[in-house]
Amino acid sequence: MSDKFDVVVIGAGPAGYVAAIKAAQLGLSTACVEQWLDDKGKVRLGGTCLNVGCIPSKALLDSSYKFHEAKADLGVHGISVSDATIDVPAMIARKGKIVDQLTGGIAGLFKHNGVTAVSGTGKVLAGTRVEVTDKDGNVQVLEAGHIIIAAGSLPINIPPAPVDGDLIVDSTGALEFQEVPARLGVIGAGVIGLELGSVWGRLGSDVVVLEALEEFLPMMDQQIAKEAGKIFKKQGLDIRLGARVTGSEVKDGKVTVSYSTADGEHTEEFDKLIVAVGRRPRSEELFSTDSGITLDERGFIFVNDFCETEAPRVYAVGDVVRGPMLAHKGSEEGVMVAERIAGKPAQMNYDCIPSVIYTHPEVAAVGKTEQELKAEGVPYKSGTFPFVASGRALASNDSDGMVKMLAHEETDRILGCHIVGPSAADLVQQVVIAMEFGSSAEDLALTVFGHPTLSEAVHEAALAVDGHAIHIANRKKRK
């Protein structure tokens, strides 16, 4: 193998593998260094997202939702499946197959596009060189025209609940339970805690989510967060806000968790405990001190809007840099950087990145929240539409939640959209596209939406912005 490349990427997660494929498509000789090994000691591509993140969690969310539907939701359609049972090892094995198929698919794409996969741990040295140490300790140095660091992130551990991989697990361990825990504790009511709590709750666990903050989903639009909180409560998810975990003890196959609230100290006993308190950038031992790369105060690799680090011709993308820790954010950064290396004037619109919590119903958002607009003093108007008024949602017996559209008071430009409801992830994408094209709420209002679809709720929310909704009583005066 040549040890000279136009581009060397470190990390083959969604930020790194996409950057590598794009660079190769643009005619640049490209290597992608990845340390992850499969059980046969071969390089494993796809990073957190494909192996232990987005994909396996969605596989389990879908399996568990089907079980829940069979058990609890089909009766209303006149269908009785009262003796539905769940074979947890079979469900986990199905998830494993999907992961294998997708990670293998990345290997195929690398081959097809001419990306060289290099197995080992990469470290950036001064002079755009990458030192790679393989599993046997062999070291090679790659000369790179440009380097893209995409080393990703790792789960945060907290001293009160040290992960033991058995009773106390992180998100990776929570994707591997071989039986349904009778009582499940989750620390952290963030995206990952809510998704994994939902998986096991649907399968029968009695789930308690302990969240230190008083506010539920503070980063989401608060009207939508409150609505989501009510729906989750109705579903039986016991989310305790203002509950800070202070300790844990593993004894006789159980874990006892201590936590404090405004009322004092409490304890709860669980069969399993998932620690889902966030992720941190994986930025240690990634570069030599003379490489010129710097970290910000939170340990993220410092980059500008174009993902350039402080070292010339060294870029960083994905979870290892500032911004939301989302697969698609990293992938788009990877594309931007590959294009810029190839001399194209690419840039990224950080104002238009959708985010989703894949509970049921889903919670999805793009753009500014109402509280952000208020804080920034931006004049805005809003329109909402509840799914209970959507014919399609009622037909599916899936009518919890609402769409909320925010637009500029004077220009009518769409500033944000927040949804809790069925297929919210796919619905919000329609607004992402509209926002990318600088659409006004009226542009969406004047668009023809198929009937009956859930998308009509987006249409009605856009109409409601100026008091023109048809299928609900408009509270505001028509403009």
Positions annotated as catalytic residues are 451
Q: Cβ(379)–Cβ(408) under 8 Å?
A: yes
- The nearest distance, CB 170 to ligand AMP, in angstroms, is 11
Distance of CA 269 to the CA centre of its chain: 29
The answer to whether the annotation marks 1 as part of a ligand binding site is no
Is 229 a binding residue for ligand AMP by CB under 6 A? The answer is no
Cα separation values, 131 from 134, 213, 293, 318, Å: 10, 42, 15, 21
Q: By C-beta, is 151 or 463 nearer to ligand FAD? A: 151
Helix, strand, coil shares of the chain, percent, nearest 5, are: 35, 25, 40
Q: By C-beta, is 81 or 156 nearer to ligand FAD? A: 156
Q: By C-beta, is 24 or 326 nearer to ligand FAD? A: 326
State the binding partner of 277 from ligand AMP, ligand FAD, none, CB within 5 to 8 A by kind. ligand AMP
Cα separation values, 179 from 92, 176, 374, Å: 10, 9, 47
The answer to whether the annotation marks 326 as part of a ligand binding site is yes
Q: What is the DSSP letter of 132?
A: E
Range 66-125, binding ligand FAD (CB under 6 A)? 121-122
Q: Rounded to an integer, what distance in angstroms lies between the CA atom of residue 368 and that of residue 35?
A: 37
Q: By C-beta, is 88 or 213 nearer to ligand AMP? A: 213
Q: Cβ(43)–Cβ(117) under 8 Å?
A: yes
Amino acid at 30: T
Range 146-175, binding ligand FAD (CB under 6 A)? 150-153, 171
- The nearest distance, CB 367 to ligand AMP, in angstroms, is 19
Is 174 a binding residue for ligand AMP by CB under 6 A? The answer is no
Phi then psi dihedrals of residue 335, to 5 deg? -65, -45
Reference 153, options 4, 266, 277; nearest CA is 277
Is 328 a binding residue for ligand FAD by CB under 6 A? The answer is yes
State the binding partner of 212 from ligand AMP, ligand FAD, none, CB within 5 to 8 A by kind. ligand AMP
Phi then psi dihedrals of residue 261, to 5 deg? -130, 180
Q: Rounded to an integer, what distance in angstroms lies between the CA atom of residue 445 and that of residue 288?
A: 54
What track of x and - describes contact with ligand FAD for positions 122 through 141 (by CB under 6 A)? x-------------------
Distance of CA 180 to the CA centre of its chain: 24
Is 245 a binding residue for ligand AMP by CB under 6 A? The answer is yes
Q: What is the DSSP letter of 417?
A: E
Reference 302, options 282, 322, 323, 325; nearest CA is 322
Q: What is the DSSP letter of 37?
A: B
Q: By C-beta, is 188 or 229 nearer to ligand AMP? A: 188
Is 465 a binding residue for ligand AMP by CB under 6 A? The answer is no
Q: Which stretch of DSSP H or E encloses residue 53?
A: none
Is 354 a binding residue for ligand FAD by CB under 6 A? The answer is no
Q: Cβ(352)–Cβ(432) under 8 Å?
A: yes
Task: Please state whether 161 falls in left (phi above 0), alpha (psi between -120 and 50) or beta.
Answer: beta
Q: Rounded to an integer, what distance in angstroms lies between the CA atom of residue 283 and that of residue 301?
A: 7
Cα separation values, 38 from 35, 42, 91, 102, 120, Å: 10, 5, 20, 13, 12
Is 244 a binding residue for ligand AMP by CB under 6 A? The answer is yes
Is 163 a binding residue for ligand AMP by CB under 6 A? The answer is no
Q: Which stretch of DSSP H or E encloses residue 217?
A: none
Is 365 a binding residue for ligand AMP by CB under 6 A? The answer is no
State the binding partner of 406 from ligand AMP, ligand FAD, none, CB within 5 to 8 A by kind. none
Range 183-202, binding ligand AMP (CB under 6 A)? 187-192
What track of x and - describes contact with ligand FAD for positions 6 through 45 (by CB under 6 A)? ----xxxxxxx----------------xxxx---------
Is 213 a binding residue for ligand AMP by CB under 6 A? The answer is yes
Stretch that binds ligand FAD, among 48-56, 85-93, 106-114, 338-346 (CB under 6 A): 48-56
Distance of CA 327 to the CA centre of its chain: 6
Range 276-335, binding ligand AMP (CB under 6 A)? 276-278
The answer to whether the annotation marks 194 as part of a ligand binding site is yes
Stretch that binds ligand AMP, among 78-86, 262-270, 275-283, 292-300 (CB under 6 A): 275-283
Is 197 a binding residue for ligand FAD by CB under 6 A? The answer is no
Token pair, residue 428, equals: 């919000």
Is 180 a binding residue for ligand FAD by CB under 6 A? The answer is no
Residues 6+ apart with CB under 8 A from 75: none
- The nearest distance, CB 402 to ligand FAD, in angstroms, is 22
The answer to whether the annotation marks 33 as part of a ligand binding site is no
Binding positions for ligand FAD, rule: CB under 6 A: 10-16, 33-36, 47-49, 53-54, 57, 121-122, 150-153, 171, 192, 282, 286, 318-319, 325-328, 330, 358
List binding-site positions for NAD(+).
188-195, 211, 278
Interface residues with ligand AMP (CB under 6 A)? 158, 160, 187-192, 210-213, 244-245, 276-278
